[in-house]
Amino acid sequence: MAFAYLIAAAFGGVAWGILGGALPGISPSITMALLLPFTYGMDSTVAVVLLASTYVGAEYGGSIPAILIGTPGTNAAAATVIDGYEMKRQGKAGEALGISLYSGFVGGLFGLIVLVLLTERLSSVALAFTPPSYFALGILGLSVIASLSGDSLLKGLIAGVMGLMVATIGTDPVTGLNRFTFGSPDLLSGIPPILVMVGIFAVSEMLVQTNAPDWEKATHESARIRFPTPAVWKRIAKPQAIGSFIGAFEGMVPGAGGSISSFLAYNEARRWSRHSDEFGHGSPEGVAAPEAANNTVACTALVPMLSLGIPSSNSAAVLLGGFLMHELVPGPMLFVQHGEVVRGLYEGLFVANVAMLIIGYVIMGPCIWLVSRPKPYLMAFIYALVVSGVYAFQANLFNVGVALAFGVVGYALRYFKVPFLPMVLGVVLGFMVESNYRRALVLSNGDLTTFVRNPISAGLLATALMVLAASLLRQAKGRGDAR
Amino acid sequence: MNRDLVFGVATLAIALVYYALTSTIPPSQLADPIGPQGLPRMYSLVLAALSILLIVRSLRSHANREPRISEPKISDRRTSEPANYLATARVAGMLLLGIAYIVMLPYLGYLISVAVLIALTTYLQRGPLNLRTAVVALSGAALFWALFIWLLRIQYPAGLWPSLI
């Protein structure tokens, strides 16, 4: 019975993900954030499978408008537009969609193998973790901000500190005293990260879409998926392998994500291709490589998230929020205390990849219907879904207000060109950092050297320093090149 | 005024307000060397320092920038201003609509509140406010009612309607 629920969650997540990913402007993280409140009352394994499957589905879904209307549904599908849309213009939309679907399937399975092989090994140090190590782990997670801040580390750090400030609202983790609650009982347990995510990702995107231009409409006749012929399979096998390997590596690197890996994969596939002159003119290889890469990322991004509790992308951060909502703390102890959830997630991800093949065919019609709806109606339905879903989370109208407030924060961050993932990271990791920092100091009678005397803590802090230094060097080099 | 400067000033103000608020946290009697105010104070100081750095950086880059060859004509500015105001008004309208939903939900009940929300959001997203929109809004509200109240059994406020019947 439990496995039946898991299969249903995988199929449901993939279907929702494809629909969300197919809507330009609605990223995989937004698609997942919209689903978060609904997972609250679910069994924890079913909930994480539903969210992870949504991620898998959304990565494929993004390629549908990329091929059919030349507008990527997700950032990661931007590389698919180059040859996918060209193939559509040549009357080969069905073939391009088939290549995208099967390359995504190949990449997804490869990513799952990497995930299963690496994750548990990485977290085998589980039992040796003490409060100083957990604090250092939190700092390592926060150091990801440096990689995620693009060309403005300063603004990324500001957003990260503001996230940490939000995490201090509520009951103090050590003394139990109230902080920044202003006498409101609704704030006693703090601000749940889910509300911050829904606000910053979904509500702010709705506000941006208010003034964004409409997208092109797709036509039904252009979209019947075609299974690639043996000749096409022969051509796309190598770019699929290139995309899978690049996606596997990039997925685990903080800040890299699907969009960088898909462009890298596209570029490498062109470099290694015998038909490199066809790239940009409707090459099947130009669709296969990025699609294999971004679906591999959907699985390998979970390696640092599950093993160390470090989200390497927006979508992984939302998934982390889902884990925390179910009191599953990703990181070293997850495999010890909730091994069944991790195994369920692996099984669910396998089912999700298979489901993608089946649903990919079935959902094409509804997808095109959805993309062709007038944008104002679509946005109105999404807004209604956001406010209804956030209320459903704890049956509390105060939460709707908090999500709207964070929507304003997200909109302001976009306006000032400040990366908003650092803020989400601050909110998610703030409690872990503060509680373990203070516990470690209580245990060591206030001796700060406890953080460097513990070998795991010292190693993690050194790694965090290296991540920060590497980002600073990259920025300095970038500025030098610009001059 | 450049955006980095405005953002820096705003975050500096947040840091100052947040620091002032830490004094409202009562001190702990437990043997905790940091205390409940410790990290919040540290965060506000770090934020203030980062904000000052951003302000200085934006002022320096503004001073180093070469003067523009030609400023836009006043008539050009006038033509784009109404469009900008309208865009800002739409975004503000979306937020006000959300707030109105929170305020009105206990009185109007879920079905009507969601229908109104869908209709007005459609309008703010540059859609028409006509019979078709009304039909879409009512069917959408019915769909959401079926999903959240009938299927998921979420207890939404029923509004004043039951007391009137």
Stretch A186-215: mean pLDDT: 84
Query: Among all residues of chain B, which has the CA nearest to that of A398?
Result: B102
The 10s digit of each residue's pLDDT in A427-440 is 888 888 898 898 89
The 10s digit of each residue's pLDDT in A399-413 is 999 999 999 999 999
Q: In sequence order, what DSSP letters do the residues of A433-467 get, joined into one string?
A: HHHHHHHHHHHTTT-TTHHHHSHHHHHHHHHHHHH
A442 with B32: Cβ contact below 8 A: yes
d(CA B118, CA B121): 5
**% of chain A at pLDDT higher than 70:** 93
The 10s digit of each residue's pLDDT in A260-301 is 778 888 888 888 888 888 888 889 999 999 999 989 988 888
pLDDT attached to residue A268: 86
Q: In sequence order, what DSSP letters do the residues of A345-414 get, joined into one string?
A: HHHHHHHHHHHHHHHHHHTHHHHHHHHTS-HHHHHHHHHHHHHHHHHHHHT-HHHHHHHHHHHHHHHHHH
Across chain A, mean pLDDT equals: 85
Eight-state DSSP code of residue A191: -
- Looking at the structure of chain A, the number of domains it has is 1
Nearest-Cα distance to chain A for B163, in Å, is 21
pLDDT attached to residue A252: 78
Q: Which of A210, A385, A438 is closest, CB to CB, to B32?
A: A438
CB A289 within 8 A of CB A99: no
Residue in A34, A157, A172, A444 to test binding to B, most B beta-carbons within 10 Å:
A172
pLDDT band at B6 (very low <50, low <70, confident <90, very high): very high
pLDDT attached to residue B133: 94
CB A334 within 8 A of CB A137: no
- Whether ipTM tops 0.90, in short, is no
Nearest-Cα distance to chain A for B75, in Å, is 23
Residues of chain B by 3-state class (helix, strand, coil), percent to 5: 75, 0, 25
B117 with A165: Cβ contact below 8 A: no
B119 contact residues in A (CB cutoff 8 A): 380
d(CA A101, CA A59): 10
CB B94 within 8 A of CB A202: no
pLDDT band at B118 (very low <50, low <70, confident <90, very high): very high
**Phi/psi of residue A31, nearest 5 degrees:** -60, -40
pLDDT band at B83 (very low <50, low <70, confident <90, very high): low
A376 with B122: Cβ contact below 8 A: yes
pLDDT value at A219 more than 70: no
pLDDT value at A220 more than 60: no
Q: Helix crossing, A93-122 with A44-61: angle to 10°?
A: 140
Residue in A382, A383, A408 to test binding to B, most B beta-carbons within 10 Å:
A383
Nearest-Cα distance to chain A for B18, in Å, is 8
d(CA A62, CA A342): 27
Query: Among all residues of chain B, which has the CA nearest to that of A167?
Result: B40
pLDDT value at A350 more than 70: yes
Q: Which helix (H) or strand (E) holds A179?
A: strand A178-179
A154 with B121: Cβ contact below 8 A: no
CB A243 within 8 A of CB A290: yes
Q: Domain range spanning residue A433?
A: 2-482
CB B55 within 8 A of CB A163: no
Q: How open is the CA angle A40-A42-A46, to the nearest 5 degrees? A: 120
B98 with A376: Cβ contact below 8 A: no
pLDDT value at A209 more than 90: no
pLDDT attached to residue B110: 92
pLDDT attached to residue A108: 93
**Phi/psi of residue A45, nearest 5 degrees:** -65, -45
pLDDT value at A87 more than 70: yes
- Any idea which residue has 């929702």 for tokens? A16
Nearest-Cα distance to chain A for B71, in Å, is 23
Q: Which of A377, A418, A446 is closest, CB to CB, to B127?
A: A377
pLDDT value at B80 more than 60: no
Q: Which helix (H) or strand (E) holds A9?
A: helix A2-22
Nearest-Cα distance to chain A for B145, in Å, is 10
Residue in B84, B154, B155, B156 to test binding to A, most A beta-carbons within 10 Å:
B154
**Which whole-number Å values give the CA distances from A63 to A232, A248, A351, B5, in the listed order?**
18, 19, 21, 39
The 10s digit of each residue's pLDDT in A22-70 is 876 677 888 888 888 888 888 999 999 999 999 999 888 888 878 887 7
Q: Which of A105-109, A169-173, A335-339, B95-99 has the lowest mean pLDDT?
A: A335-339
pLDDT value at A446 more than 60: yes
pLDDT attached to residue B1: 57
Q: Taking Cα atoms as reference points, which of A182, A102, A435, A69 lies closest to residue B24?
A: A182
Query: Which tokens hold the place of A318?
Result: 């939302």
Query: Which tokens hold the place of A470?
Result: 């590497």
Q: Which of A38, A155, A397 is closest, CB to CB, to B105?
A: A397
Q: Which of B36, B39, B95 is closest, CB to CB, to A408?
A: B95
* pTM (2 d.p.): 0.78
The 10s digit of each residue's pLDDT in B24-57 is 888 777 767 788 898 999 999 999 999 999 999 9
pLDDT value at A146 more than 90: no
B94 with A207: Cβ contact below 8 A: yes
pLDDT attached to residue A15: 92
pLDDT attached to residue A11: 94
B127 with A180: Cβ contact below 8 A: no
Nearest-Cα distance to chain B for A208, in Å, is 8
Per DSSP bridges, beta strands A178-179 and A170-171 are antiparallel
Q: Which of B36, B94, B105 is closest, CB to CB, to A175?
A: B36
* Interacting residues of A10 by C-beta distance below 8 A, sequence separation 6+: A49, A50, A53, A348, A349, A351, A352, A355
Q: Which residues of B34-50 are buried (b: 16+ CB within 10 A; e: fewer)?
A: bbbbbbbbebbebbbeb
**Phi/psi of residue A332, nearest 5 degrees:** -55, -45
The better pLDDT of the pair A78, B103 is held by B103
B4 contact residues in A (CB cutoff 8 A): 155, 416
Residue in A205, A388, A436, A441 to test binding to B, most B beta-carbons within 10 Å:
A388
d(CA B4, CA A414): 12
SS3 (DSSP) at B114: helix
pLDDT band at A3 (very low <50, low <70, confident <90, very high): confident
The better pLDDT of the pair A443, A109 is held by A109
Stretch A199-217: mean pLDDT: 81
**Which whole-number Å values give the CA distances from B110 to A10, B75, B103, B131, in the listed order?**
30, 48, 12, 21
Stretch A136-160: mean pLDDT: 81
SS3 (DSSP) at A173: coil
The better pLDDT of the pair A118, B117 is held by B117
